[in-house]
């Protein structure tokens, strides 16, 4: 009788516990112990005056930090030729390294893990952003047509690029290597190489852009060479266990399409396995344009199955979709952008299934140090 009572009590205790939420289960990423699987995606905010991170970023990033949470900082330029947008940060000067330190320290003080996304825009630029007014560099000299601006109203225009000579490419790779070293000096736990969204590395990867006839163009192996040499240089500098890469094989941002994105994605993850990097961060095929979803017959699952390290998925996930992706082992971690921007306590809101703040797209890229940046409310004042 006593055993039956205890069993019934135990059943009542078990049944009273909330169901396990996959997104808020712990995960071991290399040497990093994550307390949940919700990642702050890299988000350009255009509030780094003169390409130098500012003190207001201390609050912005620390607001979004939880103990054991992974944050990836906004795309950060590797050199003075890497720029294509106003007020974006860099990490090629001593001033920039020193400016990042208190931001990184604030994240670490709250127990977060912080990676720096290192970036070169390539042809997504104009002479206005380039040293001495020179042409932007790229894999190609094909100009990028005007693109609808982030505000959905204006059009951004770009200067025709200059095709990198074969003998110049090692110097650009070295810029990524130095940027990675600088990121570690600034205190970051690792770096994410930005190989997505039509920027320089993607301009080499995708056959709609890359029209080279040297060893960096033509075959799939050749088009992937630049990306892998960047990864090699970065991993040799700071250790492969501190390196991730973001890829978007299915996307066509900035006119960067590929005729066989599945083959591209699989080739890259298999090549990255040999390098034993920490993670691959991939953008869902349903995200064809920034902020727009579409039905897609394609999937990241074959790439997820082929990759031996941690797999991060991004691209329009909500709470339900993120939980489903983790529960079905389609990904290890899920990166959230716009809703994390608007909900600094997103992991807590997901855990409680609480309502979300709505984001205001009009304040994504304004230079204000507070508005649309650090003024989104928490669930309560004690958060």
Active site members? 199
Are 41 and 72 in contact by the 8 Å Cβ rule? The answer is yes
Bridge partner list, 119: 77
Around 87, how many Cα atoms within 13 Å sit in the side-chain half-sphere? Answer: 14
For residue 363, CA distances in Å to 19, 50, 87, 186, 345 come to 36, 20, 14, 28, 19
Bridge partner list, 289: 292
Q: How far apart are CA 205 and CA 196, in angstroms?
A: 9
Are 199 and 176 in contact by the 8 Å Cβ rule? The answer is no
Bridge partner list, 147: 156
Checking DSSP bridges between strand 190-195 and strand 32-34, what pairing results, if any?
Answer: unpaired
Are 199 and 175 in contact by the 8 Å Cβ rule? The answer is no
Instruction: Please name the residues in contact with 58: beta carbons below 8 A apart, sequence gap of 6 or more.
Output: 102, 103, 106
Q: How far apart are CA 317 and CA 171, in angstroms?
A: 37
How many helices, marked H, and strands, marked E, lie in the chain? 11, 17
| The residue count for the chain | 383
């Amino acid at each position: 009788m006593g055993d039956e009572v205890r069993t019934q009590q135990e059943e009542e205790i078990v049944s009273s516990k909330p169901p396990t939420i996959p997104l808020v289960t712990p995960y071991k990423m290399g040497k990093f112990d994550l307390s949940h699987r919700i990642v702050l995606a890299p988000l350009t905010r255009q509030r780094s005056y003169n390409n130098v991170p500012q003190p207001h970023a201390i609050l912005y990033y620390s607001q979004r930090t939880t103990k054991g949470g992974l944050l990836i900082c906004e795309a950060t330029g590797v050199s003075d030729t890497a720029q294509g947008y106003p007020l974006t940060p860099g990490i090629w000067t001593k001033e920039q390294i020193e400016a990042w330190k208190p931001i990184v320290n604030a994240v670490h003080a709250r127990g977060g893990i912080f990676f720096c996304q290192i970036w070169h825009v390539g042809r997504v630029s104009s002479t206005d952003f380039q040293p001495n007014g020179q042409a932007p560099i790229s894999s190609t000299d094909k100009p990028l047509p005007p693109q609808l601006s982030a505000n959905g109203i204006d059009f951004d225009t770009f200067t025709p690029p200059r095709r990198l000579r074969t003998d110049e490419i090692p110097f650009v790779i070295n810029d990524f290597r130095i940027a990675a070293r600088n990121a570690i000096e600034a205190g970051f736990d690792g770096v994410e190489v930005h190989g997505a969204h039509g920027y320089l590395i993607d301009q080499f990867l995708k056959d709609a852009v890359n029209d080279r006839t040297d060893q960096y163009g033509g075959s799939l192996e050749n088009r992937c060479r630049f990306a892998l040499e960047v990864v090699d240089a970065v991993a040799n500098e700071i250790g492969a266990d501190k390196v991730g890469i973001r890829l978007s094989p299915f996307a066509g941002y900035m006119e960067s399409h590929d005729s066989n994105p599945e083959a591209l994605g699989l080739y890259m993850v298999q090549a990255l396995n040999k390098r034993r990097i920490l993670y691959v961060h991939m953008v869902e095929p349903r995200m064809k344009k920034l902020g727009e979803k579409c039905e897609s017959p394609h999937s990241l699952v074959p790439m997820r199955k082929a990759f031996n390290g941690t797999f991060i998925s991004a691209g329009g996930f909500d709470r339900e979709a993120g939980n489903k992706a983790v529960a079905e082992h389609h990904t290890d971690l899920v990166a959230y952008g716009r809703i994390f921007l608007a909900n600094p306590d997103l992991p807590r809101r997901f855990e409680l299934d609480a309502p979300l703040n709505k984001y205001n797209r009009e304040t994504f890229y304004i230079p204000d140090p507070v508005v649309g940046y650090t003024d989104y409310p928490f669930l309560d004042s004690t958060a």
